[in-house]
């Protein structure tokens, strides 16, 4: 349950995605683009090696909203994101959310949502909207 939310409040989680996780996501999502799955095809791409699906990386926002900020019971209402750079298999990323606004009439929270690689470069950037469950 979310409690005492305030503008500026922030949460983060770290994750690196394995080859097996990328392959499982490809099967679940039906996105079998060779840039994610085939070493040779990925080597010939602009990135030079396999990359994690952008939507798989951005799925970390769901974990943050539903378990950390606002927390359990949160209903994810929307996400507007841009993919700014690749995330490579095995590369650690940190996903962040930060409260920008809280509506006064109902518990609707707007948050900045972004991911950074280990070098501090933003690889996903956007904004999320969620309904918090307050005690």
Distance separating alpha carbons of residues 41 and 43, to the nearest angstrom: 5
Sheet holding 108-117, edge to edge: 10-16, 92-102, 108-117, 122-131, 75-83
| 10-16+53-131, CATH topology level | Thiol Ester Dehydrase; Chain A (3.10.129)
Instruction: Say if residue 112 is exposed, middle or buried (CB neighbours under 10 Å; 0-12, 13-18, 19+).
Output: middle
Q: Which residue has the tokens 């994690």?
A: 52
Closest CA to 77 of 94, 64, 65: 65
What integer pLDDT is reported at residue 133 of this predicted model? 84
Whether 114 contacts 122, CB under 8 Å: yes
What integer pLDDT is reported at residue 3 of this predicted model? 61
Domain boundaries of the chain, sorted by first residue:
10-16+53-131
What integer pLDDT is reported at residue 1 of this predicted model? 40
Q: What is the DSSP string of 58-103?
A: HTHHHHHHHHTSS-TT-EEEEEEEEE-S--BTT-EEEEEEEEEEE-
Count CA within 13 A, CB hemisphere, residue 119.
8
Question: How do the pLDDT tens digits run along the chain, 135 residues long?
Answer: 446 899 999 999 999 999 999 999 999 999 999 999 999 999 999 999 999 999 999 999 999 999 999 999 999 999 999 999 999 999 999 999 999 999 999 999 999 999 999 999 999 999 999 999 865
- Assign 49 to helix, strand or coil: coil
Whether 37 contacts 89, CB under 8 Å: no
């Amino acid at each position: 349950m979310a409690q005492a939310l305030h503008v500026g409040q922030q949460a983060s989680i770290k994750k690196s995605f394995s080859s097996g996780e990328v392959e499982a996501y490809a099967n679940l999502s039906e996105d079998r683009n060779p840039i994610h799955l085939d070493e040779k095809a990925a080597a010939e791409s602009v990135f030079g090696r396999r990359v994690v699906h952008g939507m798989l990386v951005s799925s970390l926002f769901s974990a943050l909203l539903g378990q950390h900020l606002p927390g359990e019971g949160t209903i994810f209402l929307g996400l507007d994101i841009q993919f700014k750079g690749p995330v490579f298999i095995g590369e650690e990323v940190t996903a962040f959310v930060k409260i920008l606004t809280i509506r006064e009439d109902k518990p609707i929270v707007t948050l900045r949502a972004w991911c950074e690689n280990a070098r501090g470069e933003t690889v996903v950037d956007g904004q999320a909207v969620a309904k918090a469950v307050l005690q």
